[in-house]
Amino acid sequence: MPTIDVIILAAGDGSRMKSKTPKVLQQLSDKTLLQHVIDAALPLDANLNIVIGHGAKLVKGSVLNQDVNWVVQKEQLGTGHAVQQVMPDIDDNSVCLVLYGDVPLIQSITLSMLIEKAADSGFALLSVVLKNPDGYGRIKRNATGEIIAIVEQKDASERELEINEISTGIVAVKASLLRNYLNNLTTNNAQGELYLTDIVEMANANSVNISSFICDSAKQVMGVNDKNQLAELERVIQQKQVAEFMTGGLGVKDPARFDCRGKLSFGKDCVIDINVVFEGNNTLGDNVTIAPNCIIKNAKIGDNSEIKANSIIEDSTVGSNTTIGPFARLRPESRIGNNAKIGNFVEVKKSTIGDASKVSHHSYVGDSTLGKGVNVGAGVITCNYDGANKYQTVIKDGAFIGSDTQLIAPVTIGKNATIGAGSTITKDVPDESLSLSRNKQTTLGNWKRPTKNST
């Protein structure tokens, strides 16, 4: 195989997006449009050349850990002009594959097949047949079916407009041929631009055999020009993903209301209800249930755990046999143990909640470590921030924190200690003791916790 040079055109401003963000940086699922195209090109083991213009600094900054030859197109004078800017950096013996930064669903296998055809003939293009080809350049063939030209819609005759095979703009051409054709482009067209598609007619005039590959999926070669098209392709991606997940055994209540913007692995018998959004990298154990309207981001959730409705989990882990929510929020670096409970309207931030511990309702736990079997009542707050610095709260095994209590960090609550409701705790509390501070804090060292009646 010859050397492959991928040329991605990403210089346009995307005015129809009506956005300050360059079009190629619009988000589709978990990646920018441009990154989708780059990822499709990477398996080709090719040199990567990206033509930039509008928002050049932003576009360059969005691509990390890739070896890219960045080429600036100072004036946007057409697709042919954009490719011209790259050619000084490309060897004549290379095969150039021209892609577009706003065509995000192109597949690596399709590109590989196109390159194979170009390696044989020197010139190959990708086309697709559309029921409604309006707005696209038409593939013009002769009586024997050979490609002789691509006619842009604005330059097409009425008869040519009836053609439903259209140009995707994606071509693979030997660099020596491409360089020659680009140097002979003219602006003699309705747009007054240098059209890359005009090289097809030049190749035909030179008796070059133009190979073609007709793509079987219109969505794969669909460009994104506005927010409507962006949303359309978002659903295409999500439908493809959810079908694969369900084939792999994931239970999804309504595939039309499912979003995964990243990676998701799951065990057996997991069930996902409507309007759940996965972001980043998520792992579910066996028999995990996620109720409606939850956002799960970079989370690991253990076996038999339940995430109740309207909960948010971000950069956190949840043990097995644990319930979260409803309306709970686990902020980054939260670690919830096994057989635990984080109840409704509870917020946990950068804290460890031990096995069998409960924070049942309307509480905030931040920068804290809770041991095993801790019970935190309603309205409890760990006051971890003094306006300048953050401090730790430690609650040891078996402690009971009464409702409407404020724990002023740094503070440690001892093993099996009890804090009376409505207290403000500013000092460490010993093991096996009761602390109250409704007037001032009082500690009883020999106090015994009440036990349930046997009836």
Residue 41 belongs to domain with CATH number: 3.90.550.10
Q: What is the pLDDT of residue 438?
A: 75
The pLDDT of 438-442, averaged and rounded, is 75
350 and 386 both lie in a single domain? yes
Closest CA to 17 of 201, 197, 231, 336: 231
What distance in Å separates the CA atoms of residue 280 and residue 295, rounded to the nearest whole number? 11
Are both 276 and 179 inside the same structural domain? Answer: no
Residues 347 and 392 both lie in one domain: yes
Q: What is the CATH number of the domain that holds 388?
A: 2.160.10.10
Q: What is the pLDDT of residue 347?
A: 98
Backbone φ and ψ of 242, nearest 5°: -65, -35
Of 36, 54, 81, 361, catalytic: 361
Do 158 and 255 lie in a common domain? Answer: no
- pLDDT beyond 90 at 346: yes
User: pLDDT tier at 15 (50, 70, 90 boundaries)?
Assistant: very high
Q: What is the pLDDT of residues 84-120, one digit of tens each?
A: 999 999 999 999 999 999 999 999 999 999 999 998 8
Q: Show which of 198, 221, 244 is a domain's final residue.
A: 221
Q: Which residues pair with 259 in a beta bridge?
A: 277
> Do 135 and 264 reside in the same domain of the chain?
no
Assess whether 63 and 159 both reside in one domain: yes
Indicate whether 34 belongs to any domain. yes
User: How high is the pLDDT of residue 152?
Assistant: 86
pLDDT at 288 (0 to 100): 98
Same structural domain for residues 207 and 351? no
Q: What residues pair up with 374 in beta bridges, in sequence order?
A: none
* Domain assignment of residue 267, yes or no: yes
DSSP 221: G
State how many domains the chain has: 2
- What is the arithmetic mean of pLDDT over 6-32? 95
Query: Is residue 449 assigned to a domain?
Result: no
User: Is residue 81 one of the residues assigned to a domain?
Assistant: yes
> Has residue 316 been placed in a domain?
yes
Is residue 454 a part of any domain in this protein?
A: no
Task: Based on the residue annotation, tell me whether 361 is a catalytic residue of this protein.
Answer: yes
Tell me: do 260 and 169 sit in the same domain: no
* Contact of 188 with 202, CB cutoff 8 Å: no
Q: How confident is the model at residue 449 (pLDDT cuts 50, 70, 90)?
A: confident
For 81, the token pair is 């002009």
Measured distance CA(112)–CA(118) in Å, rounded: 10
CA distances from 73 to 10, 81, 188, 285, 341 (A): 9, 8, 21, 49, 57
The kind and range of the H/E element at 229 are: helix 227-247
Would you call the peptide bond into 326 cis, given omega within 30 degrees of 0 as the criterion?
Answer: yes
State which of 221, 240, 267 marks the end of a domain. Answer: 221
What's the pLDDT band for 76 if we cut at 50, 70, 90?
confident
**Position 10 confidence tier, pLDDT thresholds 50, 70, 90:** very high
The residue among 387 and 426 whose pLDDT is bigger is 426
Cβ atoms of 115 and 172 closer than 8 Å: yes
Same domain, 168 and 107: yes
Task: For the chain, give the mean pLDDT.
Answer: 95
pLDDT in tens, 164-187: 999 999 999 999 999 999 999 998
3-state secondary structure of 291: coil
Instruction: Tell me what pLDDT residue 1 has.
Output: 65
Are 423 and 409 a contacting pair, CB within 8 Å?
Answer: no
> pLDDT of 362-418, one tens digit each?
999 999 999 999 999 999 999 999 889 999 999 999 999 999 999 999 999 999 999
| pLDDT (0 to 100) of residue 2 | 80
Q: Tokens for 41, please give them.
A: 């090109």
- Residue 191's pLDDT is 83
Which of 221, 241, 258 marks a domain boundary?
221
Q: Give a yes or no: residue 450 inside a domain.
A: no
Q: Which domain holds residue 77?
A: 4-221
* Residue 276 within a domain: yes
28 and 164 assigned to the same domain: yes
Does residue 238 sit in the same domain as residue 180? Answer: no
Output DSSP code: residue 137.
Answer: P
Assign 121 a pLDDT band (cuts: 50, 70, 90): confident
Residues 384 and 329 in one domain: yes
Band of residue 455 on the pLDDT scale cut at 50, 70, 90: low
pLDDT digits (tens, 9 = 90+) for 236-261: 999 999 999 999 999 999 999 999 99
The Cα diameter of the chain in Å comes to: 102
Kindly report the pTM of this predicted structure. Answer: 0.89
